[in-house]
Amino acid sequence: MEHQGFTLWFTGLSGAGKTTVSRVIEQELRERGMKVEVLDGDVVRENLSKGLGFSKEDRDTNIRRIGWVCEVLSRNGVVAIAAAISPYREIRDEIRGKVENFVEVYAECPIPVLAERDVKGLYKKALAGEIKNFTGVSDPYEAPENAEVTYHSDRETVEESANKILKKLEEMELIPMREMAQ
């Protein structure tokens, strides 16, 4: 069976659970027979955007490149999953305008919770003024206004968030239903 390509675009602050949830989705879609590529921040910085910094201009360039790869993959029947902070609404909407099936997923989590988790120790430093251009602290983050899915990683399990997304993709008829017998 040929499946339809689409782009699942995660956006949200550092540590909000974009990569974690995207990896669960990736696994689940593979099990349903789909072709999937995850383009997370690390993959992309390494392969497309080495040398770019964190100014607005450099961030926009980085996000546009991810968007273009998503566009090319999607139109060839692949599910492209982007999991980068992508803080600016205008650029996300620009990509939405180019990609045929664009599904925006907002990984929402309040900053105090992120600062308490602080897996990489970055929020502490950012809040102490030691990191410039840290999204949500010393650099803007513009939350989506019309995301197809929003999940709240401070009060949902990873599985709950992933299920919300899968349900939405099923409703949009972008993915096949999971077989009942498991």
- Closer to its own copies by Cβ: residue 51 or 97: 51
- Closer to its own copies by Cβ: residue 34 or 147: 34
Instruction: Output the CA–CA distances (angstroms, integers) from residue 8 to 57, 107, 124, 132, in the order listed.
Output: 23, 12, 30, 29
Beta strands in the chain (DSSP E): 6-11, 36-40, 79-83, 102-108, 149-152
Q: Please name every residue paired with 36 in a beta bridge, in sequence order, or none if there are none.
A: 79
Query: From the CB of 56, what's the least distance to its own copies, in Å?
Result: 15
Amino acid in position 91: I
Q: Which residues bind its own copies (CB under 8 A)?
A: 2, 35, 37, 47-48, 50-51, 61, 64-65, 68-69, 72-73, 76-78
- Closer to its own copies by Cβ: residue 77 or 140: 77
For the question of residue 86 being annotated catalytic, the response is yes
Catalytic pick among 74, 86, 153, 161: 86
Catalytic residues, by residue number, are 86
